Each structure stands twice: as C-alpha cells, then as structure tokens.
Structure 1
Amino acid sequence: MQTSTILIVDDNKSVLTSLELLLEREFEKIETVSDPNQIFPILEEQVIDLVILDMNFSVGFNTGNEGLFWLQRIHEMKPELPVIMLTAYGDIDLAVKSLKNGAADFVLKPWNNDNLIKKIQATLQETRHRLPANPTKGPSEPAMIIGHSPAMMKIIKLVTKVAKTDANILIYGENGTGKEILAREIHRLSLRSRHELFHVDMGAISESLFESELFGHEKGAFTDAHESRIGKFEAASGSTLFLDEISNLSVGLQAKLLVALQNREITRLGSNKKIPIDIRLIAATNRNLHEMVKQTRFREDLFYRINTIQIEIPPLRHRKEDIAAFAEYFLKKYASLYKRPGLTLHSKTLDKLENHHWPGNIRELQYTMEKAVILAEKDVIRPSEVSMHSDNTFSSDKVPHLKEVERKAILTAISQNAGNLTATAEQLGISRQTLYNKLTRFNF
C-alpha cells in the first residue's frame, strides 16, 4: 500500500463510494467530498498528494467548464498538486483542454479499475520526482468560498469566460454579498494575477483628494504635497484596479474618471506629463446605475465604459443552498482563531441559520458565526447560542428590560471588535475590569 492521500471530488455519491472502495486497498488514505467548495478547507488542513476531480457538478450544467474552474482554483492554491479529471466519453475535447490547463491526466467514465490505479501511481511517481521533500502547505489566505446554488453556478460559468480577458466588469449586489471578494477572485483567475489588485473605496474619497488619490501628484502641487506620490491608476498599471461603490462619485468626478479610462493615460497634479496606464477595471455598486443614468446622476458614457460585463450577486436569502457552506467555513475560521477546536453546529442550529432572512447577507452571517464561536459553552453550538440581527431588535409595543439591553450591547460590541476585550471596553465607554465584571454577571 502506498503512503499517499487521495482526494476525490464528485457530486455523485455512487461514484465516490465506488472509487473509495477501489482505492483504499492501494493508498493509505482516501478523502471524498461531493461539494467542490469543501476542497479548500481540506487542502488547508491536510497534505493531499493527488486530486481526482469530476468535470461537472450542477444539474443543467454539462459543459465541463465547472471542472476547469475548480481545476484552476486548486492550482491557484496548490500549483504543484496533480489533478486527474473524471469525464464522460462525450467530453473528451474538454478533457484534452483540461490537460492544457494543467491537469495531470484524465479518466473516462466508466473507468477500468486497473488502468485508473496505474494512472494514479504513475502521476504520483512523476510528481515526487518534480517536488522537493517536505512540501509546505498552501498560502494562508484561503480561496474564495463561492457557494453551490444554481445562481452562483451561473456566475461561476460567466467568471470562467471573462476572467482571463481584460474586459471591464461591473459587479452589482447588496451590502455584504461579497462584491470585493468576487473582484479579488476574478483577479486571481486573470492573466494579471502575478501583480497585486488595487482597491479604492470611492465613497471614502473626498472631492478635494480624488485626483491626488487616483492620479497622483508632484511635490508642491498643493499646500501639503511635501513629496511626489503616484496614484492608484499608475500603481495598478499592469494589474487590476477595483473601484468599490462607484455610484458615490459626483458627476464632476465621473467626468475626470471617464477621461482617464478613455485615453488610458493620466496626468499627475502639478505636472503636464501624460503617463500611459494599462489597467483592468472592475467596479462595484449596491445601487441601480440604470436608474441613476435616467436621473442624470450618473454619466451614461461612463456607465457603458465600465459595464462591458455585468455580474449581479444575488442576496443570501435568494440562495439559501449556500448558507451551510458559508456557515461551516466561518465556523472553522473562527474556531481556529479563538482556539476552539472540535466545534460543530447542531442540526437545528443549521436549520435556524437557513431560515433566517439575512438582511446583512454574508457579512451578517460571518459576524453571527464569530459571535457564536466566542460564546459557545460546549463543543456543539445550539440554536439558543446563535443570535441574529432580528434577535436584537425590539418591537415598539414591548419595552425590554435594561439588563437585556446591556447584555445585547456587550454581545454586539464583542462581535464588532472580533473578541478584543480592550477594544470592546473602549467602545462601550467602560473600563476593562468593569467589562470583566459584567461578563461574569451575565455568565459569558
């Protein structure tokens, strides 16, 4: 038996069972997952020697693009990890394409047991010759958790088509839906990923600082310009520039942005020299730009310039199938952060999470899971230990007890300060010792 760990990824439970029974006699450890989102927590926690990956996962999506998408994401995290693709006979062209995209080999369904084992053994042997001893784990930042709902599968299909182009992308979505995370994922999958993505929150830039922040300035260009400084456009040249909440720009600033995008050059404040720029633009907003154009609050020419490809992220309440994956991801993240190994969710807790409306979307779910990890008393988080936004609002006809108001204020402050009790005490306007006393009184 070889001392190797094989990870099998296929949404067909029969395929997983068959392959596990076949391979456990030949290899030391076999891991199986039916949801490709679970690939990355496993790659973070274990040393996987080889992945067997299906080409298709969602009903109605049989193009094989999903397999190519997950293949690329695996190699973003573990560039040298060998991946063997599982594909049906009719997808041979796609299987060949997967080889060009870095797959080690492919196997047709139904497979021949002996041939499959030989392919795995040959791939492992070839990989060991290439890799140094004691390979390290992947990067500390995990790959993005996408979700597996039909709505997100459509987005994945679109992202796989456009990520490697330089097309400008406009991302729509409510607050907390993950617009910035999706922008970073598009950049990760792009041909510009060897460079850092540059992020600018357009809502946080004042009119007076706009040109300096985006285009840069020369020494002496204005009163406080004590030295020359390059702007975000110049810094992001050759990479991706992400302009978040672009709808917050005034019409005057929109005109300046449009000129830079059209001419693909900028001029620093205090200089007459034109500097060429080469950026891939991704913009995001939580507002309806179509309506803003009609109301002349957003320039139509700028709208069409930034909106080559449009991606709309649905709110979490419209993709409840993804809640479990996000909840488990945040559970593991904060259980590790707060040294709470072994924490799990009670089945009724998961039901409670899936039935919540989530007005704050993924961001609200993240804070909810962090708070639950902090306050959990045992290894299983029960429904009563999970407090959502709606649990902290009071009806107009019932005045809460002051003790309950104080307890919930402390919980909220702890969550907002990521468990930092010093910062929590400062936010609440009390001493650290007073906070400790209150935590003891409320049995936290």
Structure 2
Amino acid sequence: MRAGHTYSLQPYEGPGSRFTCPACGGKRCFTRYVDENGDCLDEAVGRCNHESRCGYHYTPRQFFEDHPSARPDWKENFFRIPQQTIKKTVKKQLWTIGADIVKSTVNPAIDSDFTAFLTGLIGRKDTAKIVKEYHIGVTKNRDVIFYQLDTEGRCRTGKIMKYDRQTGHRIKDEKVGGKITWVHAILKQSRDPGLRLPPSWELTQCLFGEHLLKQYPFKPVSLVESEKTAVICSAFWPEYIWLATGGKSQLNDRLQVLRGRKVVAFPDVDGFSEWKEKLSQVRGLDIVVSDVLEKEATFEDRASHVDIADLLIRQQQEERVAAGEAGGRGGFEGFGEPGKCGCFGESGSFGESGTPLLHPTFLKLKEMVGGCDMELLAGVDNIKELADVGYWKELALLVNELDLEVEGVKEF
C-alpha cells in the first residue's frame, strides 16, 4: 500500500456496519477493513468477532500478497528498480488438525442425520462409499462433519451442521443446535491438553473434497457452493469430482488448486451472476459457469434459493412416487449428465441426434485416446471386445480410477 493510504477495521456504526462472516456464516459478526474514506477493500477482507469459535482474520496485507495487481500503485512499482534489499518472504505456517481426530469421527456404520437422509435417497452401499471417500464425520448429537482435506490429505478443519433426516434440509434454528460450528473452534476450547489447539493456531481453509484431485487426476471437476450439494451430486454423477467452496463468497485463492483441470461451476439459483462475474476475473483457470439451473429454475425455485441438488432430490422423489418404488437411482430430466451443457466438450453429446449413447467411461476414453471410433465403441460391452480395437489398456486404467463396474475390466 502506498504511503498515506491505510486500512483499518470499520468502526461500529450500527448493525449495518457488521456483515456475514465468509468463513463461519455467522450474521452481523464480521468487521471489514476500510480505508480513510470508509471504502471497503474487499468483502472477504476483515475479522470475525467470534475469535474462539471461528478465528477468521484476513488482513489487507494478506490480501495484497494474494492479489498484487490490486495495489493502487502496482503499475508504478512493476518497473521501479528497488533501492533496498528485498526481504526474504517468510512462509506462513500451515496449521492442520490431526488425522486421528478425523478417523475417530468417520464411521460409515454410524449415521448422522444427513447420512441417514442420504441413505434413503441413494441406498446404504453408496452412502457408505461416499462417507469413506469424502471423510464425512458424525458428532455425538448426530450432526454431520464435512472435513476439509487438501491435496496432501491434511485436514484444515471440519464444518459441523445439523440436518433434518427426513427432508435433508439444514436446520438453522440456533435454539435446537442449528448454528454452524467448526472442529478447530471446538478443539481450541477443549479441556483435554492432548486435543486442545494452541492459541496461535490459525485457520486456512481449502475446498471441500479437494483431496480427491490427487486421487483422480484425470476426472473433470464440478464446483458447487455447499458440501451437501457436492456429496449428493457425486452419487449420481461419479465420473466427475464434485467440490464445494462452502459459500457464495468463497471464490478466492483456494481455486488455484484447479489449475490444469477442466471445471464447470454450478452456482445456486441466486448466485449465477455473481459467480460468472467473479470467476471471469480469475486468471489461469479453465472454469465455465453453467447456466443450466438459471434456465431450469421456476419462480418458486428462486424464492426457495434452490441449488442443483435440491432439484435432483425433488425429481428423484417424484419418480419414486410415480413408479411406486422405494429406491433406485433415476436420471435428472433437463440436466442429464453435467457435461450436457457442452462444458466438457464432446462428452456432452449424450442423446444428441446421430451420436451413440455410451457409458460415461467410454466418453472419457474418447478424451484420453485420440481417434476413437465412437460408432465402433457404441457396440462394445466388455474389455475383451475392446482388445480387438486396441483400447482395452486405456479403459482398464480408467475404470479402475473411477472404480466403476464394467464387465471384464477387473480381470486385467
């Protein structure tokens, strides 16, 4: 920041001067940094008043380190010859939560209210698989814990929320424990010295599901707002990695882990314009903002602030009632596969005139192996037939990566 241009925490001037915390979601508990004219630097730059429960504090200095081009005088300084020796940057310590904490709360055999709802939607087997893959935990009160694990498998924190096991809706009434809490905040206050985090412990969040990027290096990525949406969509479209930002405003440096990946973002129905604007400013990333929800949502959907998972759940339930069934996985009319919007190139050609209907595995194979004859692949049912056309090795690797059941593949 240039001389004479300083930022400080905004003085309290009534409820209108306090905002929703971008980390914990608490209302009117977030104080922003403003300059001498009272102008806000950025909506995410500030401090949460809940220091023990949340601890979020993003300073102007950290903001300018993350966004050097945002400095008022960045063009001048870009070509200026430094007169002093540049100080060596000290890498900020990354604080994490022990793997034993995560392991002790992740148990597919014990349902949270959220996973109980999920079981009713997709079945026990698929729910258990998702719990293991996303490391979804459960508290003694049956609240769900959405752990944030980075690409190295380190736990940054865990987001604790209460859900209605019948409807799958989040319970927000604080009188019945509906307030969002965090694993790191609880550990900071623990009476057990072996569990208690040090006072200097600072939160650094990552994307929910981020650890899956390393586990599945060839999968395309779908980005949504809520953890619940990512989990539910992963059950219906496992050929994609479903990640969650944790909120509408969390489109920041966390997205840098997506460099080199093909990404489609699915904002909630009321977040399309904001996401499209913010993501257009992110450089170096291949992200397309889908407008499929923007086009499909009704007036009632907008009033209810639905997301793609809400519509998916609704259609699934309607199909069950119409068919008189108690279970089974249906499609999603109007949405089909995430790639149907054309965001994933040729893999979005499901059901189009003249294009063979293929298992998603074969469509992914087309992206990996140049020159695939799609008409020929359309009639292939197992890996032995693929051996005749020269693609079986690539398919075997892909199927094992996606952990899909394709006849004959597991034999190789």
TM-score by length of 2: 0.27
| Richer in helix (by share) | 1
Larger radius of gyration: 1
TM-score by length of 1: 0.26
Q: Greater RCO between the two (CA within 8 Å, min separation 6)?
A: 1
